[in-house]
Homo-oligomer: A and B are copies of this chain.
Amino acid sequence: MKKKRTTIKDLARRLDISVSTVSRALRDAPDINPATRQEVLDLAQKLNYKRSTLATSLVSKRTFNIGVIVPELSVPFFGHVIAGIQETLLSKGYQMMICQSSEKIEQEQKSIELLMDHHVDGILISPTVETNHLEHIKMLKEEEVPVVLFDRTLPEANGIFSSVTVDDEEGAFNATTHLIHEGYQRIAHISGPKHLQITQQRLKGYKEALRLHNLPYVEDWVVHGDMHSNIGRITQQLLALPTPPDAIFAINDPVAFQVLHTLLSMKIDVPKEIGVVGYTGSDMAKLYHPTLSTVRQPAQSIGKEAALLLLEEIDSLWDRRVEKQPFVYRNRVLPTELVVGQSSRRNF
């Protein structure tokens, strides 16, 4: 029922030449008379011809669509990443289909199938907090669909999937060291799900900083949360400890904001009584009062790099048809930047 667009057939008829010639002209094939080529192009322009991506895809098997799966669409960080992805993809002639897993592995699973049904040429995934295995993602490999993980990943993904992350350990190390330098002695860490690599790495950086400064690692001061709920309660529990911490390093900014809110509501002075550092580098960090110290992740760049890796992998998949050499997976690790705000400066 759609108004039908002009097709190469139309062009062929009007120019009284064959469709194959038109087709050649339209994708400037080598063997074509420049004159006829121009004729075709002109008419195409005039009739507002647009190549049907559908038909092209049907025969070529490529859709130039790539799928993106994020845990939460409403988290600004992912918004920035997606913006980066989008930019890169567009410049290369790709479009993206986005799915939200809502931090549920089941939904992640479904999304993958959905994207497959829509013939995406590749998929970018940031696993959910529930995702403690990669079976459903490995399936994609079997279907020869390139995959790149971003931001979050699992240790077992190593050597199987390309990925783009930040140097989580270093970032955490810097954040913790900063707190120590500011004079905080009892630094707690509100961590994330244990199986996620970012959790492990950040915890590692945190520990390393303590070790290097001869501060004890206190089990009670390290709590694993789900990055979302109950942060208020967790914070209160930390404060209720026999020896409560005098600083809190949160796994990310959303958690940090909840911590701040809880502390300030209890009329605890931040940063005098308790220092706080987050991780993300969200826009709100510099708008909060006090401004939040945070380890800035280059969200946009993460998106760009991930998209680039994926496209390279896709290209290699298509060119490689003859010389079947195995693809080399790459793990791009981007640097972070500690942005010191007021929430961690005792002399504020």
A75 with B86, Cβ < 8 A, contacts A97-B96, A289-B261 known: no
A240 adjacent to chain B (CB < 8 Å): no
A100 adjacent to chain B (CB < 8 Å): yes
Let me know if A73 and B61 touch, CB within 8 A: no
List which A97-133 residues lie within 8 A (CB) of chain B.
Answer: 97-100, 102, 114, 116-119
Q: Which of B57, B261, B264 contacts A54, CB < 8 Å?
A: B57
Q: Which of B2, B75, B265 contacts A289, CB < 8 Å?
A: B265
Let me know if B63 and A73 touch, CB within 8 A: no
Let me know if A98 and B98 touch, CB within 8 A: yes
Residue-by-residue, is A245-271 near B (CB-CB < 8 Å gives 1, otherwise 0)?
A: 000000000000110110011000000
State the Cβ distance, A271 to closest chain B Cβ, in Å. 14
Spot the interface stretch: A77-85, A147-155, A183-191, A214-222.
A77-85
Let me know if B287 and A2 touch, CB within 8 A: no
Residue-by-residue, is A46-87 near B (CB-CB < 8 Å gives 1, otherwise 0)?
A: 000010111101100101010000001111101110110010
Q: Which of B54, B80, B118 contacts A95, CB < 8 Å?
A: B118
State the Cβ distance, A94 to closest chain B Cβ, in Å. 10
A98 with B96, Cβ < 8 A, contacts A119-B54, A288-B288, A289-B289 known: yes
Residues of B within 8 A of A90 (CB): 114
Question: What is the chain B residue whose CB lies nearest that of A258?
Answer: B287
Residues of B within 8 A of A264 (CB): 289
A317 adjacent to chain B (CB < 8 Å): yes
CA distance A340 to B152 in the complex (A): 36
State the Cβ distance, A39 to closest chain B Cβ, in Å. 23
A317 with B97, Cβ < 8 A, contacts A265-B289, A284-B257 known: no
Let me know if B289 and A61 touch, CB within 8 A: no
Q: Give 6 CB contacts A-B under 8 Å.
A: A1-B318, A54-B63, A73-B79, A76-B76, A78-B79, A83-B102
Name A residues whose Cβ lies closer than 8 Å to a Cβ of B: 1-3, 50, 52-55, 57-58, 61, 63, 65, 72-76, 78-80, 82-83, 86, 90, 95-100, 102, 114, 116-119, 142-144, 257-258, 260-261, 264-265, 283-284, 286-289, 291, 317-318, 320-321
